[in-house]
Structure 1
Amino acid sequence: MTLKYIFDRLMAFFGLLALWPVLLVVAILIKVKMPGGPVIFKQKRVGRNGRLFTMYKFRSMTVGHGGSSVSVAGESRITPLGAKLRHYKLDELPELWNVLIGDMSFVGPRPDVPGYADRLTSNDRRVLELRPGITGPASLKYRDEEALLAGQKDPQRFNDEVIFPDKVKINLYYLNHYSFIKDIQMIFCTVLGRNMKYNNEII
């Protein structure tokens, strides 16, 4: 995956250069519309080979909200501005820095909090061989995950028993059938909001 590594570093560098005005505008909006808290949300996530790293995102929730690690569309801790940032994936732009410094990749499994990574057993732990990504096949399949969870009687249980195992299966397939061309296709599908065929299903 040498080509993938080089592509990630270069595109993250040029992406930050090109998007700095957008990053600045979003930061100002957060300061104005969501005062009393930091612009950047920082959280420890599990990276490649199980190593913890600090992931950076624009803050989209109220300060000191507490609650579940599973986000559901419409919940009160997500601010109106935060909902828009999450809808258009603008909250994830600071992750370009994570890609630049090598903690993340553009395409790969979304980085989990430590508790979820601890649930990986046996062959499933091979997922940790991958750098976590800003997007990926599981992210595309579950791009409306928050809305899907909002329709469940027990969102946490549905995530743990249905979504999480399916994401692991998808990410293992990605590991075993890696394609740089598919990576590029996934990036375009993420940016343009389109679907693609992957492993005999539409994601």
Structure 2
Amino acid sequence: MLRKWDQLPDYMQTDAVRPYYEKLKKKQLSLIFKRIFDIVVSLLLIVVFSPVLIIISILIVSDSKGGVFYRQERVTQYGKKFKIFKFRTMVANADKIGTQVTVSNDDRITKVGSVIRKYRIDEIPQLFNILLGDMSFVGTRPESTHYVKFYTSEMYATLLLPAGVTSEASIMYKDEAELLDKADDVDKVYIKKVLPGKMRYNLESIRNFSFIKEIGTMFKTVLAVMR
């Protein structure tokens, strides 16, 4: 589940990434359990949520023009690029008419989209990304290629594992949109303040990685959404 050191991308073979790699190298069994869990549970949930997926899809296309899914290029393990599955919560081509991060009062958000985003329902289609191996249930949220360009050498350590649907950083920054509401330059504030803050949690999670802790993060995410 973890590549050999010399098989990592050159930009990851640094002294800043090495300590995180050595930690994960000792957790190979946990990494295997993590992948088995992802496959079994994602497949089960796709079956369980299939009626919900159909109903939400109908609501989305009835509310505004555009497709059901939002497919943006994101970055996952070892810098691999993939197209994320999310329910479309904004007007068509929203990423071409505004910033790549969203604030709470963003006028690009549709009526149905505002409800979907509030309860994180837009994340459900990422079960397909998990099943395909592009993502995991727990891991650093997949950033767009635009923001990965601003990673420090140490931040690249988060690419040792697949991107995730949730994480400790996601829980702590669940009100991220509200944090960016008053920003004059949303991109600048995200890159200078929000991204480094989230990355501190992400790097800590990799440093202390364990399969059991990730199960705990999933439960904490459910509680955070319910609140």
TM-score by length of 2: 0.82
> Which residue of structure 1 lines up, in the alignment, with residue 71 of structure 2?
42
Aligned residues: 194
Runs (5+) with no aligned partner, structure 2: 1-30
> Which residue of structure 2 lines up, in the alignment, with residue 198 of structure 1?
none
- Residue 151 of structure 1 deviates from its aligned partner by 3.3
The question of 1:161 aligning with 2:227 is answered: no
> Which residue of structure 2 lines up, in the alignment, with residue 53 of structure 1?
82
| 2:179 aligns with one of 125, 138, 148 | 148
| 1:98 aligns with one of 112, 122, 129 | 129
Rg (Cα) greater in structure: 2
Contact 2:74/2:81 (CA < 8 Å) preserved in 1? yes
Amino acid at match of 1:12: S
Amino acid at match of 2:165: I
Q: Percent of aligned pairs with the same residue?
A: 38
> Which residue of structure 1 lines up, in the alignment, with residue 35 of structure 2?
5
Contact 2:136/2:164 (CA < 8 Å) preserved in 1? yes
Runs (5+) with no aligned partner, structure 1: 196-203
**Stretch of structure 1 that moved more, 145-154 or 18-27:** 145-154
CA distance in 1, matches of 2:145, 2:115: 27
CA distance in 2, matches of 1:115, 1:96: 24
Contact 2:129/2:135 (CA < 8 Å) preserved in 1? yes
CA distance in 1, matches of 2:173, 2:187: 15
Amino acid at match of 2:223: L
CA distance in 2, matches of 1:87, 1:194: 8
Amino acid at match of 1:9: I
**Stretch of structure 1 that moved more, 73-82 or 183-192:** 183-192
String of CA shifts for 1:20-67, please: whole Å, max 9, x gaps.
Answer: 111111101101112x21001111101100010111100000113321
The question of 1:22 aligning with 2:58 is answered: no
- Residue 108 of structure 1 deviates from its aligned partner by 0.3
Contact 2:99/2:186 (CA < 8 Å) preserved in 1? no
CA RMSD of superposed structures (Å): 1.5
String of CA shifts for 1:6-26, please: whole Å, max 9, x gaps.
Answer: 111111000101111111111
Distance 1:194-1:56 versus aligned 2 partners, 3 A rule: closer
CA distance in 2, matches of 1:30, 1:82: 8
- Residue 153 of structure 1 deviates from its aligned partner by 3.8
The 3-state SS of whatever aligns with 1:38 is coil
> Which residue of structure 2 lines up, in the alignment, with residue 109 of structure 1?
140
TM-score by length of 1: 0.91
CA distance in 2, matches of 1:3, 1:105: 12
- Residue 194 of structure 1 deviates from its aligned partner by 6.6
> Which residue of structure 2 lines up, in the alignment, with residue 183 of structure 1?
214
CA distance in 1, matches of 2:192, 2:106: 21
The 3-state SS of whatever aligns with 2:169 is helix
CA distance in 1, matches of 2:126, 2:191: 25
Divergent runs of 4+, >6 A: none
CA distance in 2, matches of 1:194, 1:55: 21
Larger relative contact order, structure 1 or 2 (CA cutoff 8 Å, min sep 6): 2
- Residue 120 of structure 1 deviates from its aligned partner by 1.8
**Stretch of structure 1 that moved more, 156-165 or 45-54:** 156-165
